[in-house]
Chain A
């Protein structure tokens, strides 16, 4: 009996185009445990779907290996890998009924008809499709079609459950409901799930762990909280949630000097890539990143410490109050969120921004990973 882990090592995909070779997936390493819900998250065109399709066997890899339970998947064609997959377009067979769609994989496996029917009907029931088994996909709503495609993917107990942007075609309310349902079923069946999405909220809420992709590279892997609290690169910090970047000069002792001649000692310091430093026009400086909820606002007065700025807009949103602060010493407009509105700070007021060093994330060139 194998351990049911998915292992991806050095996976690379190079597409040959008229303009020359394009590296779509660049040396990706992954290790996903049995029963884990793992998301591949990133902006469009970052290589996450190509990675999934290589794991599915729908795309060949240029180099690298994919193993499941220690077994190399390379010699196995897609059909022999025992996978279940949900496509963005659902890809339901329009000429087959709901029951026939869901039973397709079992029929292929030559499961006895009575057994097939019983299994599939139960699965359809679990998915809230009871009574719809005789309908054709064109008679179903988007959400129902989605459920049928999930039933089709899971009916034959696949080793892996692959989902490629499964919720992209649903409206916002249904998306939240479906993603909870997908996770519930996945946990009940204990099947390893790989979930591709560009929606960070979706990925953060359903995944046990997730991997953030950018330009074909896997930037960081971790649990949602870990990635939110400790992004190891400016890209991940910027991509996940809202964050403010303050250029800073890092000193030998690990403290960072920011504008307003104010120094903090960030809890973590990560290396800053040369390309990132260049794309943010940092010169030789590093960056201290702070989440909006960790920033403090104070009306500008004599002796106030922190980075000076001016409130452009104050937005009362109920559970939080959000301030947009124009600040010369930040890479872009600063966002501050406080649980309660601060009465003495209004629009047009000069303010000082500060935060605890332990809430600051430092990025500087030459830092050790």
Chain B
């Protein structure tokens, strides 16, 4: 019984049969991530220290490419402009988002679900597609400009330059802050604020000493996303920049104008350094604080229903959403404008623009669909495999896997594009101009999304279900096929649709890697816009907006989640 029996032979320690599955997945993951992420980044980094035309060799290493940030006025101003645009966009987007988030979480309002869904639209529609709308409204002969000038005598600053870029980007990206802060506020334990009130604190004091510190980490992470996006966006400054250059447009200029990949790589490195600097600053202010209480009771927080609060909240939130949806609405509106020249409003409406693009739209759409489709399938398959291993198995070096997969989150798309262009243009693997390169670029850009959404689904599946299947005699493969996959299928499908729909309008990687044969719909729109052919651009833009919105709506139905939840 409990006493050790001397008669028994000593049992030698037996190693458990080694589970080779994580090793297998680890190797594949490692290989893919090294080939598609670590190697390109490393090579781009290296080539940023070599001048154009020189071979990648130790003796050729130089700081000349970076020196241009001191010697060239264009480089200097682009760096400064990028910092200004990114900081101003982050600040403006955050300032716009916070009152809306607070109002949605704490004030009694009708149609909240509708408002939440509307807030996602600016994130789904690629910002550059709507950017030109601001020219139509606020440009030199824009509707609003003319109205203000003739009736009130007010002159607006030129839409081309920082004003337009910051405006367009802020209104596109504020939902990142809005969604995450609104979620945190809605989930915050209402008792914390109530106990502050019972302790004698008044409204503003509670907001300042309790509520704000509680959601500060959420504000920080939302702002971080906005900063990264604003710093890496190439479409909006291309459309609204004019001769006002920022780092991404400078990269584009170097590549398209001189095919100076080394110079572009150096600019990309500076771009990433800015992201890292901002990341460190944000971490320094909010990194160590983690408030676990945020996901507390199911008790809903008390909603303010005073008349004043409701009037203000409704006016503000509806006003903000209306403003944010102006670009998309304008794209759709102008797509039906057949004649619109020299007048405030179009003089003829019809489907002419759609007839105009009919011959040209099919090929880019087919390209976009199959490139995005293949990349989505790859990201989904790979994301599922890694998410499964990361959640279900223990193995050394797991943190490294999670970290590497999430890496593209902080790399602006154009940086990935530059890295791929430099890496696969020469050397052992040459893929420049091929569809494969675009698929790889899309895959790496969206792997983190797929990984995250599948992880969330697997997290919902009780591991005991898999154990129960095993006990019943099922092999690992059968358990996966019959139990795990069917249960996470809706999550995978929704994640896949999300990835796919955001790839349809993808511009920053595409613009670096496309070729004549792989021209996508986003490139087609971009080319129309930069050559000021607004009519076909808006018709094609409308097609993209409608397709992506429908897909995301479908995904949210499939998952039984609201559209807003899918982006939080």
- B393 interface residue per 8 A CB criterion: no
Complex Cα distance, B474 from A56, in Å, reads: 14
Interface 1/0s, chain A 85-109, versus B by CB < 8 A?
1010101111100000000110011
Complex Cα distance, B473 from A156, in Å, reads: 10
A63-B11, A78-B471 known; A89 vs B487 contact (CB < 8 Å) = no
Of B2, B17, B472, B487, the residue contacting A156 (CB under 8 A) is: B472
Interface 1/0s, chain A 135-166, versus B by CB < 8 A?
00000000000000100110010000010000
B8 touches A10 (CB 8 A): yes
Complex Cα distance, B8 from A79, in Å, reads: 29
A87 touches B473 (CB 8 A): no
B464 touches A87 (CB 8 A): yes
- B565 interface residue per 8 A CB criterion: no
A108 touches B473 (CB 8 A): yes
In the complex, which residue of chain B has the Cβ closest to the Cβ of A104? B472
Q: Tell me how far the C-beta of B459 lies from the nearest C-beta in chain A, rounded to whole angstroms.
A: 15
A89 touches B464 (CB 8 A): yes
- A369 interface residue per 8 A CB criterion: yes
A93 touches B465 (CB 8 A): yes
A contact residues around B3 at 8 Å (CB) = 369
Closest 7 CB pairs of A and B: A60-B16, A105-B472, A91-B464, A91-B468, A85-B471, A63-B13, A108-B473
B483 touches A93 (CB 8 A): yes
B contact residues around A109 at 8 Å (CB) = 473
The B1-53 residues at the A interface (CB cut-off 8 A) are 1-5, 8, 11-14, 16-17
B contact residues around A78 at 8 Å (CB) = 467, 470-471
B470 touches A79 (CB 8 A): yes
Q: Tell me how far the C-beta of A192 lies from the nearest C-beta in chain B, rounded to whole angstroms.
A: 15
A contact residues around B471 at 8 Å (CB) = 56, 58, 78-79, 83-85, 153, 162
Q: Which of A182-190, A212-220, A344-352 contacts B (4 or more CB under 8 A)?
A: A212-220
Q: Tell me how far the C-beta of A214 lies from the nearest C-beta in chain B, rounded to whole angstroms.
A: 9
A contact residues around B1 at 8 Å (CB) = 29, 218, 220-221
Complex Cα distance, B470 from A74, in Å, reads: 16
B contact residues around A60 at 8 Å (CB) = 16-17
Q: Tell me how far the C-beta of A55 lies from the nearest C-beta in chain B, rounded to whole angstroms.
A: 11
Given contacts A29-B1, A77-B470, A153-B471, 18 further A-B contacts (CB under 8 A): A9-B11, A60-B17, A75-B17, A77-B17, A79-B473, A80-B473, A83-B471, A87-B464, A89-B462, A91-B462, A91-B465, A94-B487, A105-B473, A108-B473, A108-B478, A149-B468, A152-B472, A221-B1
> Total number of A-B contacts with CB less than 8 angstroms?
91
Complex Cα distance, B470 from A58, in Å, reads: 9
- B350 interface residue per 8 A CB criterion: no
Q: B residues bordering A, Cβ < 8 Å? A: 1-5, 8, 11-14, 16-17, 462, 464-465, 467-475, 478, 482-483, 486-487
Q: Tell me how far the C-beta of A154 lies from the nearest C-beta in chain B, rounded to whole angstroms.
A: 11
Complex Cα distance, B473 from A82, in Å, reads: 7
- A64 interface residue per 8 A CB criterion: yes
- A255 interface residue per 8 A CB criterion: no
A contact residues around B468 at 8 Å (CB) = 85, 87, 91-93, 149, 152
- A333 interface residue per 8 A CB criterion: no
Q: Tell me how far the C-beta of B558 lies from the nearest C-beta in chain A, rounded to whole angstroms.
A: 15
- A61 interface residue per 8 A CB criterion: yes
A contact residues around B483 at 8 Å (CB) = 93
In the complex, which residue of chain A has the Cβ closest to the Cβ of B16? A60
B472 touches A108 (CB 8 A): yes
- A62 interface residue per 8 A CB criterion: yes
Complex Cα distance, B4 from A105, in Å, reads: 38
A10 touches B467 (CB 8 A): no
Of B5, B17, B469, the residue contacting A29 (CB under 8 A) is: B5
Q: Tell me how far the C-beta of A311 lies from the nearest C-beta in chain B, rounded to whole angstroms.
A: 38
Contact sample, A vs B, 6 pairs, CB 8 Å cutoff: A29-B1, A80-B473, A84-B471, A85-B468, A104-B474, A105-B472
In the complex, which residue of chain B has the Cβ closest to the Cβ of A211? B1
In the complex, which residue of chain B has the Cβ closest to the Cβ of A103? B472
- A65 interface residue per 8 A CB criterion: yes
B469 touches A10 (CB 8 A): no
A9 touches B478 (CB 8 A): no
A contact residues around B16 at 8 Å (CB) = 60-61
In the complex, which residue of chain B has the Cβ closest to the Cβ of A212? B2
A218 touches B2 (CB 8 A): yes
Q: Tell me how far the C-beta of B392 lies from the nearest C-beta in chain A, rounded to whole angstroms.
A: 13
A104 touches B469 (CB 8 A): yes
Q: Tell me how far the C-beta of B550 lies from the nearest C-beta in chain A, rounded to whole angstroms.
A: 27
Complex Cα distance, B464 from A263, in Å, reads: 56
Q: Tell me how far the C-beta of A332 lies from the nearest C-beta in chain B, rounded to whole angstroms.
A: 25
Complex Cα distance, B5 from A314, in Å, reads: 48
- A202 interface residue per 8 A CB criterion: no
In the complex, which residue of chain A has the Cβ closest to the Cβ of B467? A58
Interface 1/0s, chain A 1-36, versus B by CB < 8 A?
000000001100000000000000001010000000
Complex Cα distance, B4 from A93, in Å, reads: 42
A220 touches B473 (CB 8 A): no
Q: Tell me how far the C-beta of A284 lies from the nearest C-beta in chain B, rounded to whole angstroms.
A: 23
A contact residues around B474 at 8 Å (CB) = 79, 104, 108
Most chain A beta-carbon neighbours within 10 Å: one of B13, B16, B464: B464
B13 touches A62 (CB 8 A): yes
B487 touches A95 (CB 8 A): yes
Complex Cα distance, B468 from A27, in Å, reads: 27
Of A10, A65, A95, the residue contacting B486 (CB under 8 A) is: A95
Complex Cα distance, B197 from A282, in Å, reads: 53
Complex Cα distance, B476 from A80, in Å, reads: 12
Q: Tell me how far the C-beta of A11 lies from the nearest C-beta in chain B, rounded to whole angstroms.
A: 9
A220 touches B2 (CB 8 A): yes
Complex Cα distance, B473 from A95, in Å, reads: 19
B contact residues around A218 at 8 Å (CB) = 1-2
A contact residues around B12 at 8 Å (CB) = 63
Complex Cα distance, B2 from A221, in Å, reads: 9
Complex Cα distance, B12 from A64, in Å, reads: 7
Complex Cα distance, B483 from A79, in Å, reads: 15
A74 touches B14 (CB 8 A): yes
Complex Cα distance, B473 from A85, in Å, reads: 11
A61 touches B473 (CB 8 A): no
Q: Tell me how far the C-beta of B478 lies from the nearest C-beta in chain A, rounded to whole angstroms.
A: 7
The A177-213 residues at the B interface (CB cut-off 8 A) are none
A contact residues around B11 at 8 Å (CB) = 9-10, 63-65
Most chain A beta-carbon neighbours within 10 Å: one of B1, B3, B462, B467: B1
Q: Tell me how far the C-beta of B14 lies from the nearest C-beta in chain A, rounded to whole angstroms.
A: 6
A contact residues around B473 at 8 Å (CB) = 79-80, 82, 105, 108-109, 156
A91-B462, A218-B2 known; A63 vs B14 contact (CB < 8 Å) = yes
Interface 1/0s, chain A 257-282, versus B by CB < 8 A?
00000000000000000000000000
Complex Cα distance, B472 from A83, in Å, reads: 7
Q: Tell me how far the C-beta of B381 lies from the nearest C-beta in chain A, rounded to whole angstroms.
A: 21
A contact residues around B464 at 8 Å (CB) = 87, 89, 91
Most chain B beta-carbon neighbours within 10 Å: one of A29, A91, A156, A219: A91
Q: Tell me how far the C-beta of B18 lies from the nearest C-beta in chain A, rounded to whole angstroms.
A: 10
B contact residues around A84 at 8 Å (CB) = 471-472
Complex Cα distance, B339 from A343, in Å, reads: 109
Q: Tell me how far the C-beta of A22 lies from the nearest C-beta in chain B, rounded to whole angstroms.
A: 16
Q: Tell me how far the C-beta of A129 lies from the nearest C-beta in chain B, rounded to whole angstroms.
A: 18
Complex Cα distance, B1 from A218, in Å, reads: 7
In the complex, which residue of chain A has the Cβ closest to the Cβ of B476? A79
Complex Cα distance, B472 from A108, in Å, reads: 7
In the complex, which residue of chain B has the Cβ closest to the Cβ of A95? B486
Complex Cα distance, B481 from A95, in Å, reads: 12
Complex Cα distance, B469 from A186, in Å, reads: 21
Complex Cα distance, B13 from A266, in Å, reads: 43
Complex Cα distance, B468 from A79, in Å, reads: 10
Q: Tell me how far the C-beta of B75 lies from the nearest C-beta in chain A, rounded to whole angstroms.
A: 49
In the complex, which residue of chain A has the Cβ closest to the Cβ of B486? A95
A contact residues around B467 at 8 Å (CB) = 58, 78, 85, 87, 91
Q: Tell me how far the C-beta of A160 lies from the nearest C-beta in chain B, rounded to whole angstroms.
A: 10
Complex Cα distance, B16 from A78, in Å, reads: 12
B contact residues around A219 at 8 Å (CB) = 2
